[in-house]
Amino acid sequence: MICSVQTACGGCPTLHLHREDEHERKRRRVEAALERIGIGVSVPPPVAGLNRFEYRNRLRMRVIDGQATLFNRSKLDGCPALRSELWVAICRVIEVSSQNPELLKSIDHLEVRVGDEIGEIGLSLACTVGEQRSPSSVAADHQGCSKDLQAVLGDRWKISCKVDQRQQTLTYYLDSNLSVAVPLNAFVQVNSEVNRMLVAYVAQEFRSLGAATFLDLFAGAGNLCLPLVAAGLSGHAVERNVSAMIELAARGDKPQLTVSDGDVEACLENLASADVVVVNPPRRGVGTHHELIARLAIDGLVIVSCDPTSLASDLSRFLSAGLEVERLATFDMFPGTEHIETVATLRRRSAA
């Protein structure tokens, strides 16, 4: 398949390359970022899914005068990176908002998502709070929009406002027997197929480190900690998104998992140590408390990163805090783009 709007869109700059060449380019990007800070570690080619196209399960849209459109208007004739059911849902949102702009009159932007269950569609509504508007008035407007949209789109759609603590959720499978319910305002990996490979790899790394307990920082809705619990480990998860934590705490079938909501850096002083700490931070990286996080990791640490530059910065600080890089793995979470997901496994440096 060739994308007819690649040049105008610019969103998938490596799509014209053979897949092996694209993977080599991404591998070298990670390698170069590490070499710049003096880390010489072998970087393997990315683990990739079968689908180079139709992998994206979510897309943000902008709203102008009540009418939904794409941030990149070059994609208005279609985008082969989107799952087909997602594109159908996007077209439906554009259609109903064009017919009745009053439906989205108080919305600035929204995100359309599809779950891994057949027929699951989610719509998350958001608006920047202006100088003359209180959060409560914005919340009231959003709730009105949600109700009106639900009447037009039907019960098959799950609609939430980003300001709601209790959110509608979509189902994503972490393996054939385990799923996670992700609130519409919480983070979910954009590529479900490759995410399952990444999750399996992280669980394997915990086995190789001999971990029985874990600490999951930036836990989201449980993408990494739920498989660890399913593998027999016990641990604690920290996430600042209240909706994600509410959903994760509701997993009554996981008594060996405890959760707390709050900013990771604010919680670190009160956390107990664990055999292995896993962190999946936002693109900017872990933050500033690398030494404290390293002290919480008795045997090792696993870091999942979507940006080689911030990963290199984090690794440099963790090395200074007494850890050493054991191995790396890369995952082609975003085919056709420059982005690459990297998992680094670190062990406690021996006294010798």
Average of pLDDT values for 211-237? 96
Q: Do domains 13-51+191-348 and 58-170 have the same CATH topology?
A: no
The token pair that represents 12 in the structure block: 């998938």
Tell me: pLDDT of 14 over 60: yes
Domain boundaries, the chain: 13-51+191-348, 58-170
The token pair that represents 251 in the structure block: 């997993």
Share of the chain above pLDDT 70, in %: 94
Looking at the structure, give the CATH architecture of the domain made up of residues 58-170.
Beta Barrel (2.40)
Tell me: pLDDT of 320 over 50: yes
Tell me: pLDDT of 81 over 80: yes
Tell me: pLDDT of 132 over 60: no
Q: What is the C-alpha to C-alpha distance for residues 97 and 105, in angstroms, rounded to an integer?
A: 9
The residues, ordered by sequence, that sit 6+ positions from 234 with a Cβ below 8 Å of its Cβ are 212, 213, 214, 256, 257
Tell me: pLDDT of 292 over 80: yes
Residue 10: the pLDDT is: 85
Q: What is the C-alpha to C-alpha distance for residues 223 and 341, in angstroms, rounded to an integer?
A: 15
Q: 137: pLDDT confidence band, cut at 50, 70 and 90?
A: low
Q: What is the C-alpha to C-alpha distance for residues 266 and 283, in angstroms, rounded to an integer?
A: 19
Residue 250: the pLDDT is: 86
Q: What is the C-alpha to C-alpha distance for residues 86 and 188, in angstroms, rounded to an integer?
A: 15
Say whether 12 sits in a helix, a strand or coil: coil
Q: What is the C-alpha to C-alpha distance for residues 237 and 232, in angstroms, rounded to an integer?
A: 15
Q: 352: pLDDT confidence band, cut at 50, 70 and 90?
A: very low
Residue 155: the pLDDT is: 93
Say whether 94 sits in a helix, a strand or coil: helix
Average of pLDDT values for 99-119? 94
Instruction: State the fold for domain 13-51+191-348.
Output: Rossmann fold (3.40.50)
Contact call for residues 145 and 139 (beta carbons, < 8 A): no
Q: What is the C-alpha to C-alpha distance for residues 49 and 2, in angstroms, rounded to an integer?
A: 18
Strand arrangement of the beta sheet that strand 234-239 belongs to: 257-261, 234-239, 213-217, 274-279, 297-305, 341-348, 323-331
For 172-183, how does the pLDDT look when each residue is reduced to its tens digit (9 = 90+)? Answer: 999 999 999 999
Backbone angles phi, psi at 232, to 5 degrees: 105, 5
For 242-269, how does the pLDDT look when each residue is reduced to its tens digit (9 = 90+)? Answer: 999 999 988 756 679 999 988 998 899 9
Q: What is the C-alpha to C-alpha distance for residues 281 and 217, in angstroms, rounded to an integer?
A: 8
The token pair that represents 33 in the structure block: 């970022």
Share of the chain above pLDDT 90, in %: 78
Tell me: pLDDT of 93 over 60: yes
